[in-house]
Amino acid sequence: MSSRPAKSAAYVARTRPVVPPIYQSATFYLDDLAYKDIQEGGLREHWYSRFANPTVDAAAAEIAALEGAEAAFMTSSGMAAIATTLLTLLPGRIVAARQVYGDTRDLLVRDLPALGFDVAMVDATDLDEWAAAIAAAPTAVVYAETLSNPQLDLTDLAALADLAHAAGAKLVVDNTFATPYTVNPLRHGADVVVHSATKFLSGHSDVIAGVVLADAATVTEIQKRVITFGGCLDPHAAFLVWRGIQTFSLRLDRSCATAAALADRLAANPEVVSVRYPGRADYSRAEIAGRLMRTGGAMVAFTVRGGDARALAVMRRLTVASEATSLGGVETLVSTPFNSSHFSLTPEERAAARIDDGMIRLSCGIEEAEVLIADIEDALATTV
């Protein structure tokens, strides 16, 4: 004879915990408030973790504070945040920057058109091209990255917001590369900000997560689609994001200072053709960087003599920096776009997107700056 197990006891600390608990529970006991919430859409009470979870909410609140956003909602990845946001703001036409992350490009040029949406792509740095594309037909969404991946092209967010809003469109900005440490797009007119929280927000290369930030009404609409598309964030992953955010400013202080020092040293190296870093006076969009960015950021892109083959050789001589995809961790990560983030583009398409033959993308971690710089200079010297 078997008996039904008793309900587990609810253990609640008498005082508030310093670290938010990980609510590793798919479901929660129901009461009248939960039933009422379910009948109204299930968006506020905690009763099923695909809809909302306390740990996930805690991480979202931290990021909302960093971005100065009214509301935020976490997703299972940065791409989940991007795709769900765009599908929420559609139907309609999208005008997007040509210089975007490779998987975002696939979404824009392959997936959304296959679903029947009209997508136009323009040079992120050309306001006249933006204006012409937005005016060419009714536009619902304008999409850009603050700093493009991997070119580090900076979008003039305030000017682009004016163009979008004049046409009745929403401006969606991916702020992953720039981070809220350097730029807050909502303050410059963006309507929605998305992040791969996998990167600088979590900062430890140990979690996949995304986040959407906007006004409360817009975030609620996106939350509804996260629920139906299933792109919710696991509570343990949310805890790792929350934990990473506690050292966000400290990490970015170090990483941005290292990136600035590295960019200067690379610019003086005869084996380097060019350096792209928004904190340098010779950056192509330095005037806009001065208006938008508080620092030059933690990302550096540089092009070596000898093309992609030389870039790969340099990368594989490194002993401090690590060859890996992703970015924003406490360790310095380095990659070559031709065989990673933008491998799906032809050489001609990469050139059109200003991805140079021989480009290396580097995300500065928190190592000692001189140790990292010496590692890169040695790799350049020994691959001549």
Q: Give yes or no: 101 in active site.
A: yes
| Listed residue (104, 306, 303) closest to 194, CA to CA | 104
Q: Which member of 57, 103, 174, 356 is catalytic?
A: 174
Q: Which member of 23, 101, 277, 283 is catalytic?
A: 101
Identify the burial level of 270 via C-beta atoms within 10 angstroms of its C-beta, where 0-12 means exposed, 13-18 middle and 19 or more buried: exposed
Q: Which member of 50, 265, 291, 305 is catalytic?
A: 50
| Helix axes of 369-381 and 248-267: crossing angle, nearest 10 degrees | 40
Q: Give yes or no: 48 in active site.
A: no
Q: What's at 379, amino acid-wise? A: A
| Listed residue (251, 261, 283, 277) closest to 373, CA to CA | 261
SS (H, E, C) the chain: CCCCCCCCCCCCCCCCCCCCCCCCCCECCCCHHHHHHHHCCCCCCCCECCCCCHHHHHHHHHHHHHHCCCEEEEECCHHHHHHHHHHHHCCCCEEEECCCCHHHHHHHHHHHHHCCCCEEEECCCCHHHHHHHHHHCCCCEEEEECECCCCCCECCHHHHHHHHHHCCCEEEEECCCCHHHHCCHHHHCCCEEEEECCCCCCCCCCCCCEEEEECHHHHHHHHHHHHHHCCCCCHHHHHHHHHHHCCHHHHHHHHHHHHHHHHHHHHCCCCEEEEECCCCCCCCCHHHHHHHCCCCCCEEEEEECCHHHHHHHHHCCCCCCEECCCCCCCCCEEECHHHCCCCCCCHHHHHHCCCCCCEEEEECCCCCHHHHHHHHHHHHHCCC
Q: Which member of 93, 170, 199, 361 is catalytic?
A: 199
Q: Which residues does the annotation mark as catalytic?
A: 50, 101, 174, 199
